[in-house]
Amino acid sequence: MGQRLAGRIAFVTGAAQGIGAGIARAMAAEGARLILSDLNEAGVTALAAKLGARAIRHDVASERDWADAAELVEEAFGHLDVLVNNAGIEMVKPASETSLDDWRRVMSINLDGVFIGCRTLQPLLAAAGAAGASASVINISSIAGLVGYPNQAAYNTSKAGVRHLTKSLAIEWAHHGYPIRVNSIHPGCIRTPMLELAVEGWIAEGSIPADGDPWTAIAALCPMRRVGRVEDIAHGAVYLASDESAFVTGLELVIDGGWVAR
């Protein structure tokens, strides 16, 4: 346990499980005060209780919910130091079978939610940056936002959008003199409930053998020969939230065991 984020206020979406929960735990261990959000109200409330954090039920695709979140942050703290846009869904389905409603649902959560959150909380982030060290926005994208994967057109495109939105805001906010850094993290295969659902789809479509342990098959595809842990991503998020990355903005931090370097 350290104090790299001591006194900082951090808001983490999709925090009830998986990468979001891992980031929340890591930031709490480094001294951050947390607001955790998720549609899974029971799950996020349980984690918040363990971490001494605040929790809210939050649909990231809803402008009203983001406005409520901003009101909570402003009333409780008056500013925000760190925003982690982590909430997302995955869909494994051929493009020919992806309905427009399917497409729009993935985009509304994975991409629109990031945009609405950044836009809504920008004044609170700027207030934190003006008072001291720059505020930090950390958008969780994916290696699927860098390279294409079959039967994931909506997911791939949404995560590519997160990558480019991150770079656009990093440059725009720096141009306007806002003391807010914006970076993206691109996880590879990290064992989370969301990836477990995706693996079921990969098995069904034949991308992974149906017999044997699918995680062994996935690990064999990675140059480092293992599946990632949520802690691998959480360490990167703590770095981007801390003063150690004070001169870092517009970065895409790939944490994938070498997957896309091949």
Q: Is 178 a catalytic residue?
A: no
Q: Is the pLDDT of residue 205 over 80?
A: no
Percent of the residues in the chain that have a pLDDT greater than 70, as a whole number: 99
Q: Is the pLDDT of residue 131 over 80?
A: no
**What average pLDDT does the structure give for the chain?**
94
Give pLDDT, residue 87: 98
The whole-angstrom separation of Cα 158 and Cα 141 is 8
Give pLDDT, residue 210: 77
Q: How confident is the model at residue 1 (pLDDT cuts 50, 70, 90)?
A: low
Return all residues near 172 (Cβ < 8 A) that are at least 6 apart.
Answer: none
Task: Name the CA radius of gyration of the chain, rounded.
Answer: 18
List the chain domain ranges: 9-188+229-261
Position with higher pLDDT, 39 vs 199: 39
Mean pLDDT of 227-251: 97
Q: Is the pLDDT of residue 129 over 80?
A: no
Superfamily of domain 9-188+229-261: NAD(P)-binding Rossmann-like Domain (3.40.50.720)
How far is C-alpha 135 from the chain's CA centre? 16
pTM of the predicted structure, to 2 decimals = 0.94
Could you tell me which of 183, 193, 229 has the C-alpha nearest to residue 23? 229
65 membership: H or E segment, kind and range:
helix 63-76
Return all residues near 1 (Cβ < 8 A) that are at least 6 apart.
Answer: 29, 30
Q: What is the pLDDT of residues 27-67, one digit of tens each?
A: 999 999 999 999 999 999 999 999 999 999 999 999 999 99
Least confident interval from 70-74, 217-221, 256-260: 217-221
Give pLDDT, residue 36: 98
How far is C-alpha 123 from the chain's CA centre? 20
Q: Is the pLDDT of residue 106 over 80?
A: yes
Percent of the residues in the chain that have a pLDDT greater than 90, as a whole number: 82
Give pLDDT, residue 220: 86
Q: How confident is the model at residue 209 (pLDDT cuts 50, 70, 90)?
A: confident
Spot the catalytic one: 149, 155, 178, 239. Answer: 155
Least confident interval from 114-128, 143-157, 210-224: 210-224
